[in-house]
């Protein structure tokens, strides 16, 4: 189906292709001139190429490093049974994540469109699977993930005020809502300031990591090694639990793919994308291993497993009263992850709208701010709803396996395109064994989810399957009642006027 429906959706085709918009990696170069409300009749309403190498690194590092490494890095230790094996798993997960990141670097340089997973599945396997992906993201995965990050931010930003008492749940939710609103506002107002703030937050969380690593390394090199004695004692290790350790580790490294969501805004993507990915993954892997070494230097394995917030426990033992700043560092880390996620995910919704699979207003740009305002705000109401009334953690359990299923499918698309389109320009190309190994890892984790938690996984799979009737209802079927179509058209025009957005095409 190639025709445009009455509300602007396109069945199989791309709205950008129908209008001649460029998909060659030059950004949104087909732009509106003299848009209503614009002071300069020659101004371009577009998303510029403002993501430099440093900004690209800050997006990747800033979204990978969240609250987890500071709060509860014990899933790996619990499932490996020894300090030495847990460190081996941390390194192995870093290498596997690097394989995935390198695969995405190839995808991002040969398919030079923003959108990440969605775009790669669309190009390799067609619009139906791509719509199921974006549908799952829109109704559940992304709002739940943002709500969890927001709650972590609210919890840790208030912790110094309530110590030693626990933070009241409603206070944490209100602080989370304020943090979410702030990051939405920032992303709506300026791409440049969003990127600059992300750089600042990334340096802040790296400083927090150094605050933990340096005292730990000092104690280690001055002879505090008793917790590393018999580090590879495997008597407590159960081979059946080892895959769960890898699952926890891969989750901790998740976020390396976010730069691919904004490929069209990356300056010189054929060079910047691979370089930013390699530098970021190497840096994060080193930080993760060293911070765990620091934890083990101060705490035994049993003490670490018993701790609810490892970084806070570490700081209280090593830094005394200065440990009160650790929750603030954790809060800043969560805020950085929120900022990077919103910046990247909004571009996925933008591209899905441009492809005709989401409402047309989401692919429009603010006439003065040059931000995808509607796409940025898409998740805001759903996230607030889940923040206050939803069972967020259960929803994340439902959806955790979908993350690896769709990432595995995207990398499988790379392998598929190697054989079906061998002449496709590939400025950066990885050995085939790398995407093959990573693809097998993703599908193994999907199988592990089905085996270890079939009920929650089945519920998540059922939620994603609602995308099938939604695809036919919203994309394929366009014989709507005239009154309903008029309402949809009026809503679209009203949103365009209220938000002051226009199409980013000629």
Distances from the Cα of 452 to the Cα of 37, 170, 403, angstroms: 56, 33, 16
What's the average model confidence in pLDDT over 35-63?
Answer: 69
pLDDT at 16 over 60: no
Q: Give residue 434's pLDDT band: very low, low, confident or very high (50, 70, 90).
A: very high
Q: Give residue 505's pLDDT band: very low, low, confident or very high (50, 70, 90).
A: low
Number of neighbours of residue 346 by Cβ within 10 angstroms: 26
How do residues 208-241 score in pLDDT, each as one tens digit?
889 889 999 999 898 888 888 887 877 777 777 7
* 114, 191 contact by CB (below 8 A): no
What's the average model confidence in pLDDT over 423-439?
Answer: 92
* 504, 31 contact by CB (below 8 A): yes
What's the average model confidence in pLDDT over 434-463?
Answer: 84
Average pLDDT, the chain: 82
Place of tokens 């639990």: 241
pLDDT at 12 over 50: no
With CA atoms as reference, report the closest residue to 254 among 402, 94, 457. Answer: 94
How do residues 252-306 score in pLDDT, each as one tens digit?
888 889 999 988 888 888 889 999 999 999 999 999 999 999 999 988 888 888 8
Out of 15-24, 187-196, 197-206, 404-413, pick the least confident.
Answer: 15-24
Q: Give residue 67's pLDDT band: very low, low, confident or very high (50, 70, 90).
A: confident
pLDDT of residue 44: 57
d(CA 459, CA 401) in angstroms, rounded, equals 11
Q: Give residue 408's pLDDT band: very low, low, confident or very high (50, 70, 90).
A: very high
d(CA 506, CA 159) in angstroms, rounded, equals 51
Q: Give residue 132's pLDDT band: very low, low, confident or very high (50, 70, 90).
A: very high
CA neighbours closer than 13 Å in the CB half-sphere of residue 356: 25
Q: Give residue 319's pLDDT band: very low, low, confident or very high (50, 70, 90).
A: confident
d(CA 191, CA 339) in angstroms, rounded, equals 11
d(CA 98, CA 183) in angstroms, rounded, equals 28
* Buried/exposed 217-238: b ≥16 CB within 10 Å, e otherwise: eeebeeeeeebeeebeeeeebe
What are the structural domains, with CATH classification, of the chain?
A: 15-503 (1.20.1740.10)
pLDDT at 506 over 90: no
Structure tokens at 364: 């429009």
Q: Which of 287-296, 311-320, 383-392 has the highest mean pLDDT?
A: 287-296
| pTM exceeding the 0.85 threshold for the entire prediction | no
d(CA 153, CA 383) in angstroms, rounded, equals 14
Pairing of strands 44-45, 364-366: unpaired
d(CA 158, CA 173) in angstroms, rounded, equals 11
Strands (E), 212-268: none
């Amino acid at each position: 189906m190639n025709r445009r429906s009455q509300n602007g959706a396109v069945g199989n085709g791309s709205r950008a292709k129908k209008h001649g918009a460029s998909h060659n990696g030059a950004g949104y170069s087909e732009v509106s001139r003299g848009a209503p409300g614009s002071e300069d009749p020659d101004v371009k309403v577009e998303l510029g190429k403002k993501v430099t190498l440093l900004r690209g690194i800050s997006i990747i590092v800033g979204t990978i490093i969240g609250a987890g490494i500071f709060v509860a890095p014990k899933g790996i230790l619990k499932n490996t049974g020894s300090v030495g094996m847990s460190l081996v798993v941390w390194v192995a997960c870093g290498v596997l994540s690097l394989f995935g990141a390198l695969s995405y670097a190839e995808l991002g340089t040969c398919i030079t469109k923003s959108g990440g997973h969605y775009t790669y599945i669309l190009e390799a396997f067609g619009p139906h699977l791509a719509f199921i992906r974006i549908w799952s993201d829109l109704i559940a995965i992304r709002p739940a993930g943002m709500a969890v990050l927001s709650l972590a931010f609210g919890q840790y930003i208030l912790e110094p005020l309530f110590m030693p008492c626990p933070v009241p749940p409603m206070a944490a939710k209100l602080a989370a809502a304020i943090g979410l609103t702030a990051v939405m506002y920032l992303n709506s107002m300026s791409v440049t300031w969003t990127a600059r703030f992300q750089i600042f937050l990334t340096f802040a969380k790296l400083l927090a990591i150094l605050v933990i690593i340096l005292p730990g390394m000092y104690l280690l090199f001055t002879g505090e090694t008793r917790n590393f004695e018999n580090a590879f004692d495997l008597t407590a290790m159960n081979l059946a639990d080892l895959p769960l350790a890898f699952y926890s580790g891969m989750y901790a490294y998740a976020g390396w793919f976010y730069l691919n969501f904004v490929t069209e805004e990356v300056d010189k993507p054929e060079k910047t994308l691979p370089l930013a990915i390699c530098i970021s993954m190497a840096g994060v892997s080193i930080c993760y291993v060293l911070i765990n070494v620091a934890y083990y230097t101060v705490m035994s394995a049993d003490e670490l497993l018993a701790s609810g917030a490892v970084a806070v426990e570490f700081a209280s033992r090593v830094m005394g009263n200065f440990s009160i700043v650790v929750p603030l560092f954790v809060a800043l880390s969560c805020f950085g992850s929120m900022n990077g996620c919103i910046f990247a995910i909004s571009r996925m919704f933008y591209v899905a709208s441009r492809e005709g699979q989401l409402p047309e207003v989401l692919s429009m740009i603010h006439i003065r701010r040059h931000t995808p305002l509607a796409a940025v705000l898409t998740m805001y109401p759903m996230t607030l709803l889940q923040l206050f009334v939803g069972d967020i953690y259960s929803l994340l359990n439902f959806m955790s396996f979908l993350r690896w299923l769709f990432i595995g499918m995207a990398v499988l698309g790379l392998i598929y395109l190697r054989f079906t389109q061998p002449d496709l320009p590939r400025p950066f190309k990885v050995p085939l064994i790398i995407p093959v190994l990573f693809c097998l890892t993703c599908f193994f984790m999907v199988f592990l989810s089905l085996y270890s938690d079939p009920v929650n996984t089945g519920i998540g799979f059922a939620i994603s399957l609602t995308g099938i009737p939604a695809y036919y209802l919203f994309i394929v079927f366009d014989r709507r009642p005239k009154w309903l179509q008029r309402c949809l058209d009026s809503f679209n025009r009203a949103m365009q006027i209220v938000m002051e957005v226009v199409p980013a095409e000629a």
